[in-house]
């Protein structure tokens, strides 16, 4: 698969109207900045600082990464410094093409400092491909610091082809901050995926919604862990839904702790196979069983 194809997959063919930073095989490939968004390479480690000025609105900023050769292991630290009263979209993601017998691994640590009254949409997509026996490993870590009355929507998708992943998200919310996270993960074969969420609702009237939708196929294994702490008058809703196909395994371990009498915390979890009536309906329309399963899974992960 060509480099451009990988980039299109992990960015969902997005067009960047703002700044961007493209990383290929451990090195800077291309970068663009503007008056509102500046991107600076870190001097002490691998990664970048992204500075978004107060009042920046309507821009789409891209920071995709692709690895197209085996035997690459990297840890990249990217820090987002987002000013007050901003409204921007940030698109990240990693694509690995590994046709070798060596492991290719990308660990990305993204730290967000979201200014007061700012609104951020953050999209991250992961994809692995290649006929080699080498592993394709991605370990994303996201650290979110939200100031008063800020909003952040985070959408993360593991499309397919990732052999091993540990996905960590940690968030701290101040007064009136509102965080929504939607996670979609697909595993197959002998792949493994672990998702870990640690959320601290420290601010009055802070809110968090976490939705995890996962599909585990074949002999793959997924685990979900959440630890949500309500430390003020706040609200949180955690929802974990999983579909199991073949011999796969999925575990869900929720933890919610109310450290304030006005904290309202809810957790829901559903794990099971594809409903028989859904399959029968699609089979009656002329699809075979595999085609019907694929349609149901695609709809579930949308």
Q: How much is the mean pLDDT over the chain?
A: 93
Mean of the pLDDT values across residues 215-239?
96
| 146 or 99, which is more confident | 146
- Per-residue pLDDT tens over the stretch 37-86: 999 999 988 999 999 999 999 999 999 999 998 889 999 999 999 999 99
Output b/e per residue, 213-252; b: 16+ Cβ within 10 A.
Answer: bbbbbeebbbbbbbbbbbbbbbbbbbbbbbbbbeebebeb
Give the mean model confidence (pLDDT) for residues 188-197: 97
Whether residue 212 has pLDDT greater than 70? yes
pTM of the model: 0.94
For the segment 247-265, the average pLDDT, to the nearest whole number, is 95
Q: How confident is the model at residue 276 (pLDDT cuts 50, 70, 90)?
A: low
| pLDDT on residue 284 | 72
């Amino acid at each position: 698969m060509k480099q451009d194809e990988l980039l299109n997959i992990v960015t969902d063919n997005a067009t960047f109207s703002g700044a961007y930073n493209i990383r290929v095989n451990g090195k800077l490939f291309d970068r663009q900045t503007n008056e509102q968004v500046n991107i600076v390479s870190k001097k002490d480690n691998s990664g970048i600082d992204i500075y978004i000025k107060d009042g920046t609105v309507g821009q789409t900023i891209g920071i995709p990464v692709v690895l197209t050769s085996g035997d690459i292991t990297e840890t990249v630290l990217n820090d987002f410094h987002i000013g007050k009263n901003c409204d921007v979209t940030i698109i990240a993601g990693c694509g690995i093409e590994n046709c070798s017998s060596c492991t290719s691994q990308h660990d990305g640590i993204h730290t967000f400092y979201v200014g007061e009254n700012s609104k951020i949409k953050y999209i991250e997509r992961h994809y692995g491909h290649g006929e080699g026996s080498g592993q394709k490993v991605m370990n994303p870590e996201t650290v979110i610091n939200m100031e008063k009355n800020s909003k952040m929507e985070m959408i993360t998708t593991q499309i397919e082809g990732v052999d091993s992943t540990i996905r960590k998200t940690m968030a701290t919310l101040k007064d009136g901050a509102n965080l929504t996270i939607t996670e979609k993960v697909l595993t197959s074969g002998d792949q493994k995926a672990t998702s870990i969420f640690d959320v601290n609702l420290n601010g009055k009237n802070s809110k968090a919604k976490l939705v995890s939708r996962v599909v585990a196929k074949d002999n793959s294994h997924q685990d979900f862990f959440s630890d949500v702490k309500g430390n003020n008058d706040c609200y949180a809703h955690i929802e974990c839904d999983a579909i199991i196909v073949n011999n796969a395994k999925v575990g869900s371990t929720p933890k919610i702790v109310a450290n304030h009498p006005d904290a309202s915390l809810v957790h829901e979890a559903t794990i099971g196979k594809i409903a028989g009536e859904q399959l029968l309906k699609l089979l009656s329309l002329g699809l075979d069983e595999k085609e019907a399963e694929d349609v149901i899974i695609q709809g579930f992960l949308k």
